[in-house]
């Protein structure tokens, strides 16, 4: 067992040394400071707010560029005038506004559920739906690449966790069949994402729901990344199946497409009423502010209109342009087309050096490395926004290619030393 140390300093000392090492080598590209809105070009400085310059930005999550849409800004301003700037309480107490009620109703309608509960963040929604419903005696069957909020929510319950290989439906079937045979009355939850955020791929939803029904499992789907931004009606993966195959509990985040913090769970009225009292990240946390709530409500109006449909089409053509450009330069691009475009660089050393050169070349794309992804599977996660122009996309491909070549040369020279 490693010694943890009896003081906070002792616990963090080794990490601090490692971090300093990376900072000294200019290969720590996190916690940067932005001093403009999340636009397709943005002003960025390092974590100490030094060296601010303009970057071509493929690192922000604002898929339909709604954070700067005039109608959304106007809605935010009107919410400030009507409600002030703070909800000032948990939504189980005095923090729930009539705007929040409208948002709950709107999302329930969109997702064909009888009720909906709004959380302060998407993370809180993912954590809270599982922590609220599952108990120690249950089994949680969860995709190996599920987001941290779903895994932490599961761990919180102390229920047994069974991870199946990413999108591996044969293994999923095997687990469900074995467990159901051994434990005929056990509560089983099947937890999935509609678009996996590091790999940009999706499960076969119809088959997953059929399996869950066959073996009596409750289903939870996290739709953080595709709801609003993908699918012919803007309902992401749900658009790929008929209504009969929609999961029991649909969870989402507002932070990728809906220009705000916050998240939700849409489900039956009883489940939602229960979560209001038993979901710790809802019950014991301050409600989403009326400004943010109003922003999401207005975003929904835009997203589920003809304008929203046109936005999704343009976003999709941007996505294909970047993916094709990267592949033409010989890069491996992961998953299927979505606003998340993972470009693989393999080992961590190369990846960190590429990140350093990207900074110098003023291209913002987030490096994702272990422990967010397995060792040796480092990648850059490009995130597409509606307002990216063809020119910006082509520039991103060029700059990435240059950064990668420079990193290779530097790596080889370091290896020779
Ligand atoms: C799949 C998934 N679920 C949940 C979340 C958490 O959402 P939020 O950032 O809105 O708290 C994220 C965010 O990265 C995510 O990727």
Mean pLDDT of 208-232: 98
Q: Distance from the CA of 224 to the center of ligand 1, in angstroms?
A: 6
Q: Distance from the CA of 25 to the center of ligand 1, in angstroms?
A: 31
Interior/surface letters 5-22, b for 16+ CB within 10 angstroms, e for the rest = eeeeeeeeeeeeeeeeee
pLDDT digits (tens, 9 = 90+) for 135-155: 999 999 999 999 999 999 999
HSE toward the beta carbon, residue 57, CA cutoff 13 A: 24
Q: Whose C-alpha lies nearest to ligand 1, atom 7?
A: 122
Q: Whose C-alpha lies nearest to ligand 1, atom 10?
A: 122
pLDDT digits (tens, 9 = 90+) for 343-353: 999 788 899 99
366 forms bridges with which residues in the sheet?
A: 381
**Nearest atom (ligand 1) to Cα of 195:** 1
Q: Whose C-alpha lies nearest to ligand 1, atom 16?
A: 197
Q: Distance from the CA of 412 to the center of ligand 1, in angstroms?
A: 37
Asked whether the predicted pLDDT for residue 372 surpasses 90, the reply is no
Asked whether the predicted pLDDT for residue 44 surpasses 90, the reply is no
Q: Distance from the CA of 256 to the center of ligand 1, in angstroms?
A: 8
CB distance 127 to 146 below 8 Å: no
Q: Whose C-alpha lies nearest to ligand 1, atom 8?
A: 122
User: Judging by DSSP bridges, how do beta strands 249-253 and 340-346 pair with one another?
Assistant: unpaired
Q: Token match 């106007």: residue?
A: 74
Question: Which of 126, 128, 152, 296 to probe ligand 1 with, by most ligand atoms within 8 A of CB?
Answer: 126
The pLDDT > 70 percentage for the chain reads: 99
Tell me how far apart the alpha carbons of residues 394 and 391 are, in angstroms, rounded to a whole number. Answer: 5
Fold of the domain spanning 27-57+306-416: 3.90.1150
Task: Give strand ranges (E) for 237-339.
Answer: 249-253, 263-267, 332-333
Q: Is 314 exposed, middle or buried (0-12, 13-18, 19+ CB in 10 A)?
A: middle
Q: Do the domains 68-303 and 27-57+306-416 match in fold?
A: no
Q: Distance from the CA of 158 to the center of ligand 1, in angstroms?
A: 22
| Edge-first strand listing for the sheet containing 332-333 | 332-333, 340-346, 378-383, 366-368
Q: Which CATH number fits domain 68-303: 3.40.640.10, 1.10.287.1770, 3.10.105.10, 2.60.40.1930?
A: 3.40.640.10
> Among 154, 249, 141, 255, which Cα is nearest to 197's?
255
**Nearest atom (ligand 1) to Cα of 255:** 10
pLDDT digits (tens, 9 = 90+) for 253-278: 999 999 999 999 999 999 999 999 99
Angle between helices 290-303 and 70-83 (to 10 degrees): 150
pLDDT digits (tens, 9 = 90+) for 306-339: 999 999 999 999 999 999 999 999 999 999 999 9
Domain ranges of the chain: 27-57+306-416, 68-303
Least confident range from 24-38, 60-74, 174-188, 277-291: namely 24-38
Mean pLDDT of 111-128: 98
Asked whether the predicted pLDDT for residue 3 surpasses 80, the reply is no
Mean pLDDT of 384-394: 97
The ligand 1 site (C-beta within 6 Å) comprises: 121-123, 126, 147, 149, 193, 197, 222, 224-225, 253, 255, 263
Asked whether the predicted pLDDT for residue 1 surpasses 70, the reply is no
């Amino acid at each position: 067992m490693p010694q943890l140390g009896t003081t906070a300093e002792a616990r963090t000392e080794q990490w601090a040394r490692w971090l300093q090492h990376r900072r000294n080598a200019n290969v720590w590209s996190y916690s940067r400071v932005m001093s403009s809105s999340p636009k397709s070009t943005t002003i960025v400085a390092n974590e100490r707010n030094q060296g601010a310059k303009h970057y071509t930005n493929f690192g922000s999550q604002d898929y339909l560029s709604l954070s700067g849409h005039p109608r959304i800004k106007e809605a935010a301003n009107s919410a400030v005038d009507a409600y002030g700037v703070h909800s000032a309480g948990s939504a189980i107490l005095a923090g729930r506004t009539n705007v929040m009620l409208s948002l709950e109703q709107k999302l329930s309608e969109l997702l064909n559920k009888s009720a909906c509960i709004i959380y302060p963040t998407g993370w809180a929604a993912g954590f809270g739906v599982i922590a609220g419903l599952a108990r120690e005696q249950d089994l949680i069957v969860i995709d190996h690449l599920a987001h941290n909020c779903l895994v932490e929510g599961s761990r919180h319950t102390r229920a047994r966790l069974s991870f199946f290989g990413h999108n591996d439906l044969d293994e999923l079937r095997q687990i469900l069949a074995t467990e159901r045979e051994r434990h005929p009355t056990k509560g089983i939850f099947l937890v999935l994402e509609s678009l996996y955020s590091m790999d940009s791929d999706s499960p076969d939803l119809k088959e997953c729901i059929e399996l869950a029904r066959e073996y009596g499992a409750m289903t939870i789907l996290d739709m953080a990344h595709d709801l609003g931004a993908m699918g012919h009606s803007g309902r992401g993966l749900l658009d790929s199946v008929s209504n009969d195959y929609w999961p029991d509990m649909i969870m989402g985040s507002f932070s990728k497409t809906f220009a705000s913090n916050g998240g939700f769970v849409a489900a039956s009225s009883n489940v939602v009423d229960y979560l209001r009292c038993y979901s710790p990240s809802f019950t014991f946390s301050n409600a989403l502010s009326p400004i943010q709530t109003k922003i999401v409500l207005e975003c929904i109006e835009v997203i589920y209109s003809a304008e929203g449909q046109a936005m999704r089409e343009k976003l999709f053509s941007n996505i294909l342009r970047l993916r094709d450009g990267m592949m033409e330069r010989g890069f491996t691009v992961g998953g299927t087309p979505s606003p998340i475009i993972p470009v693989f660089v393999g080992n961590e050393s190369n990846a960190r050096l590429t990140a350093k050169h990207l900074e110098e070349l003023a291209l913002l794309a987030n490096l994702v490395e272990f422990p967010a992804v397995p060792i040796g599977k480092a990648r850059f996660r490009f995130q597409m926004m509606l307002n990216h122009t063809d020119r910006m996309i082509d520039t991103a491909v060029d700059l990435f290619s240059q950064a990668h070549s420079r990193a290779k040369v530097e790596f080889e020279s370091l290896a020779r030393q």
